[in-house]
Structure 1
Amino acid sequence: MMKFPLLVWFFSRLLVLSAFFIAAPHGVLGALGNWDGAWYGSIVHHGYSFAPDGGKYNVAFFPLFPLLSSLLVRAGIAWPLAGVIVNNAAFFAATLLLYGYTRSCADERTARWVTVAACAAPPSLFCSVAYSEGSFILFSALTFWAVHRRQYLYAGIAAAAAAATRPFGIALALALVLAAVIERRSLRDILAASIGLIGAAAFPLYCLIRFGDLFAIVHAQQGWRNVSGFDGAGWYALARGAVWGNVNDWVSLFFIATVIPCAIKYRRVLDKTSIIFITFSILLIVFAGPPISINRFIYACVPLLIVLGTWFRRFPLVGYSAAAAGLVILFLDAMAFARFQWVG
């Protein structure tokens, strides 16, 4: 049963690795740790740092992924290889879980298309380098799988892990609790779901104790995002870049213009946790400053991958075309990333 997702994952990751072997100017391993990988590496080797001066600090990056990677580093595996192993292993598990979860919720064909959407999308590049995307998608998928099975204790634990991995995990933890309340679940289920809030609160509390700033994460983000709230100029620049052929801007707008309408159209296939999480995620993307890396943020939203796969299931020609184009862009983005060029 799992042969299909295994093969899709393997060949898509082989495509990414091939691009790195072709394009990396100073070796594949070092290139796999470019950009955010360097920040995660600083956490693994030196821990967190922060000062309230508006500069860039690694406290902007959440702790669970570097913590897991540090376990391998302590076992003798060098960075960034340790981060690459953690990310790829997590994405492999997430691919299998997405397939099994969608198959149980829908059918075999939809599960296959969700797998293709997850592995062929250009932002899946970030599931193969020393980034936290693979871990976040895995913990998110575990959350929704547990909700589907009405196992709120496991859902709360998985949501806590997601909230300790990426900022959008906090939105997931909140969505899980809110959905349990709206659905009038038992007090026991609501309390179990609330475990996710522990993961959401743990890192800010650490920042309060270590740096005296509960919102050090937000303040550190200002080093990258110097505009708070809705950034109209940034969105205009994104649209203009897409019109003039910037591939990354085009991919971002493609996700916005297709995945979000699909979520509205196919909302009946989603549970309340998914709908609330999508809503929170969109609000964060729109009102959290400049539209930087939004293709990655939308891609890592598991319910949106499911509705995208549902759309491809209904319109296979669209699915085949999108998958083919996605794989080409994935290969080109991997080559650009290997050359230390910004791709999202």
Structure 2
Amino acid sequence: MSCIMHTLTGKGPKMTAAAARSRPYLHAVGVFLLVRLSGLVMLAILAGNRDRALFDVLKSWDGDWYLAIAENGYDNVPARFVDAAGQHTPTTPLAFFPLYPMLIRVVAPITGSDTVAAALLVSLIAGCAAAAGIFRIARIVDPRPKTGLLLVALWAGSPMAITLSMAYTEALFTALAVWALVAVLEREWILAGLYTAIAGLARPSASVLVGTVALAAMLTVFREGRNWAAAACAVMCPIGLFAWWGYVANETGSLTGWFDIQRAGWFSYFDGGAQTLKFVGEVLGSGNSLMETVTVLAVLAAVVLAVLIIRDRIPWPLSLYGGGTVLMVVVSAGISYSKARFLIPAFPLLIPVAQGLANRKSHTMYAATAAFVLFGGWFSAYSLTGWTLAI
């Protein structure tokens, strides 16, 4: 952890303030890698205690699905892969968006690796890209480099951030979302539309990103008149998301085909937050499960942070994206233990925390950041080794 702290402040033995300013993105990526390495070491220790191989753990649950799709295509996923209801139908694999398995399929032969290594490599590269983008956004909000590095450390070390190092889509989607928002804030509308359209092929939570970027583009057109780049952005944004939903609709013969698969197979649907409120009440009333308790606390903390970023003076697209992601998590029914994972892409929620730590004395900043990262790493490792249900 001392390496991470030195990187955060630029006070390492071979690092000057001038050097820190000249290589900001390299340092942001370095913080990300150090935090993720600490989490992987913790996971390896807990997995070893239970006689489980690290790579097997890193591809568990949804990871196995993505690998099966990458290896066999959507039409030939083995029947042993079943949904949360214990069923496998010809359309069951269509619940999983295509971008990640497609990249795995492309990267594996290029690198000469198997699909597991290719999947982890895609997540690693995407995580580094996301870290650089998060640092860039932090510099827009707060010019102090340490705020950006703290934001990267908090994001990479949050509870369930282990999925950034797994065969999961969190790293890939966050990278696309981050750079789409960077493009919005810097008025690079074509890039914003392109990143958002691609993100729509990664996971369903792209709907929040699509709404945020499209609204920013349309407001620009309304205010400035003939801004053709912004108008093109608004048109481009939903292409990826609508294309996949349309493909699934065609395959299933139902306009709501993807949503039907989610509801029948993973019990996931919009219920206005009824299941979330029931889950929170039951867990806080019993406190029987560590996994459930921490998940509930993460959701409650996210709600509080969403209020803070809306009240604070940060660019409204960040507030809308972060708050919208929290709202989607709260109002959706499904596997409740996954809610902490679903919050990983909502990095703007951590901006007030990073700013608050940056305002504290060095020893307080060190201790708080280290404690957060260590707890997040331990909880992530526990969720994959001590908890027996899906994450």
1:312 aligns with 2:333: no
- Matched-pair identity in %: 22
Q: Decide whether the 8 Å contact of 1:179 with 1:272 is kept in 2.
A: no
Instruction: Kindly report the root-mean-square deviation, in angstroms, between the aligned alpha carbons of the 2 structures.
Output: 2.8
Question: Which deviates the most, 70-79 or 312-321?
Answer: 312-321
Aligned match of 2:347: 302
> What one-letter code is carried by the residue in structure 2 that aligns with 1:282?
V
Aligned counterparts of 1:98 and 1:339: Cα–Cα separation in 2: 31
Q: Structure 1, residues 262-307: CA drift from partner, whole Å, max 9, x if none?
A: 3333434332322332343233222221444121222211322334
1:80 aligns with 2:80: no
Q: What is the deviation of 1:94?
A: 0.9
> What one-letter code is carried by the residue in structure 2 that aligns with 1:260?
V
Q: Decide whether the 8 Å contact of 1:248 with 1:343 is kept in 2.
A: no
Q: Decide whether the 8 Å contact of 2:193 with 2:234 is kept in 1.
A: yes
Q: Decide whether the 8 Å contact of 1:15 with 1:331 is kept in 2.
A: no
Aligned counterparts of 2:356 and 2:136: Cα–Cα separation in 1: 18
1:22-101 matched pairs, under 5 angstroms: 22=45, 23-24=47-48, 25-48=51-74, 55=87, 57-75=92-110, 76-101=112-137
1:112 aligns with 2:149: yes
> Aligned in 2, Cα 1:261/1:28: closer, same or farther, shift over 3 Å?
closer
Q: What is the deviation of 1:59?
A: 1.4
> Aligned in 2, Cα 1:167/1:311: closer, same or farther, shift over 3 Å?
farther
Greater Rg by CA: 2
Aligned counterparts of 2:355 and 2:258: Cα–Cα separation in 1: 36
Q: Which ranges in structure 1 are unaligned for 5 or more consecutive residues?
A: none
Question: Which deviates the most, 318-327 or 212-221?
Answer: 318-327
> What one-letter code is carried by the residue in structure 2 that aligns with 1:225?
F
Aligned match of 1:137: 174
Question: Which deviates the most, 321-330 or 169-178?
Answer: 321-330
> What one-letter code is carried by the residue in structure 2 that aligns with 1:191?
A
Aligned counterparts of 2:347 and 2:326: Cα–Cα separation in 1: 13
Matched length: 342
Q: Decide whether the 8 Å contact of 1:102 with 1:306 is kept in 2.
A: yes
Q: Which ranges in structure 2 are unaligned for 5 or more consecutive residues?
A: 1-22
Q: Decide whether the 8 Å contact of 1:179 with 1:276 is kept in 2.
A: no
Aligned counterparts of 1:21 and 1:262: Cα–Cα separation in 2: 31
Q: What is the deviation of 1:166?
A: 1.1
Q: Decide whether the 8 Å contact of 1:263 with 1:307 is kept in 2.
A: no
Other structure's SS at 1:80 match: helix
Q: Decide whether the 8 Å contact of 1:59 with 1:216 is kept in 2.
A: no
> Aligned in 2, Cα 1:135/1:286: closer, same or farther, shift over 3 Å?
same
Alignment equivalent of 2:252, drawn from 186, 211, 227 = 211
Task: State TM-score, norm by structure 1.
Answer: 0.87
Other structure's SS at 1:194 match: helix
Aligned match of 2:368: 321
1:213-232 matched pairs, under 5 angstroms: 213-222=254-263, 223-225=265-267, 228-230=270-272, 232=274
Aligned counterparts of 2:68 and 2:249: Cα–Cα separation in 1: 20
